[in-house]
Amino acid sequence: MTAIAVLLCVVTVIPGTARADNPIVQTIYTADPAPLVHNGRVYLYTGHDEDGSTYFTMKEWRVWSSADLVNWTDHGSPMSVATFTWASADAWAGQAVYRNGKFYWYVPVKDRASGQMAIGVGVSNSPTGPFTDAIGHPLVRNGEIDPTVFIDDNGQAYLYWGNPNLWYVRLNADMISYSGSPTKIPLTTAGFGTRTGDPNRPTLYEEGPWVYKRNGLYYNVFAAKCCSEFIGYSTAPGPTGPWTYRGTIMPTQGGSFTNHPGVIDFNGGSYFFYHNGALPGGGGFTRSVAVEKFTYNADGTIPAINMTTTGAPRVGTLNPYVRQEAETIAWGSGVETEPAGEGGMNVGWIENGDHIKVKGVAFGSGATSFSARVASATSGGRIELRLDGVNGTPVGTCTVPGTGGWQTWTTVTCPVTGATGTHDLYFKYTGGSGYLFNANWWQFTGGSSIQIGVT
Ligand SMILES: [Ca+2]
Ligand SMILES: [Ca+2]
Instruction: Give residue 357 CA to ligand 1 midpoint distance, Å.
Output: 15
Ligand 2 centroid to residue 74 C-alpha, Å: 8
**Alpha carbon of residue 260 to chain centroid:** 12
| pLDDT exceeds cutoff 70 at 1 | no
DSSP state of 286: B
Q: Give the distance (Å) from ligand 1 centre to CA of residue 422.
A: 28
Question: Distance, CA 378 to ligand 1 centroid (Å)?
Answer: 14
What superfamily would CATH give domain 22-294?
Answer: Glycosyl hydrolase domain; family 43 (2.115.10.20)
The rounded Å distance from CA 376 to ligand 1 centre is 14
Ligand found nearest the CA of 349: 1
Name the pLDDT band for 9 (thresholds 50, 70, 90): very low
Q: What is the pLDDT of residues 419-453, one digit of tens each?
A: 999 999 999 999 999 999 999 999 999 976 554 44
Name the closest ligand to CA 355: 1
The pLDDT score that the predictor gives to residue 447 is 76
Give the domain ranges of the chain.
22-294, 324-446
Q: Reduced to 3 states, what is the DSSP secondary structure of residue 188?
A: coil
Ligand nearest to the CA of 352: 1
pLDDT, one tens digit per residue, over 287-340 is: 999 999 999 999 999 999 999 999 999 999 999 999 999 999 999 999 999 999
Nearest to 273 by CA among 13, 37, 28, 16: 37
pLDDT of residue 448: 67
- Give the domain 324-446 fold: Jelly Rolls (2.60.120)
Burial class (CB in 10 A: 0-12, 13-18, 19+), 252: middle
> How far is Cα 195 from Cα 193, in angstroms, rounded to an integer?
7
Among all bound ligands, the one having the nearest atom to the CA of 343 is: 2
* pLDDT attached to residue 416: 98
| Distance between CA atoms of residues 219 and 264, nearest Å | 12
Are domains 22-294 and 324-446 of this chain identical in fold? Answer: no
Over residues 27-56, mean pLDDT: 97
State the pLDDT at residue 22. Answer: 97
Q: Confirm if 261 and 210 have CB atoms less than 8 A apart.
A: yes
Q: Which residues surround ligand 1, an ion (CB under 5 A)?
A: 334, 349, 351, 354
Catalytic machinery residues: 32, 206
C-alpha distances (whole Å) from 313 to each of 66, 250, 309, 400 are: 12, 19, 12, 33
Q: Tens of pLDDT along 385-414?
A: 999 999 999 999 999 999 999 999 999 999
So what's the pLDDT on residue 449?
53
Q: pTM value?
A: 0.94
| % of residues, the chain, pLDDT over 90 | 94
Convert the pLDDT of each residue in 217-263 to its tens digit.
Answer: 999 999 999 999 999 999 999 999 999 999 999 999 999 999 999 99
Gap from CA of 347 to ligand 2 centroid (Å): 7
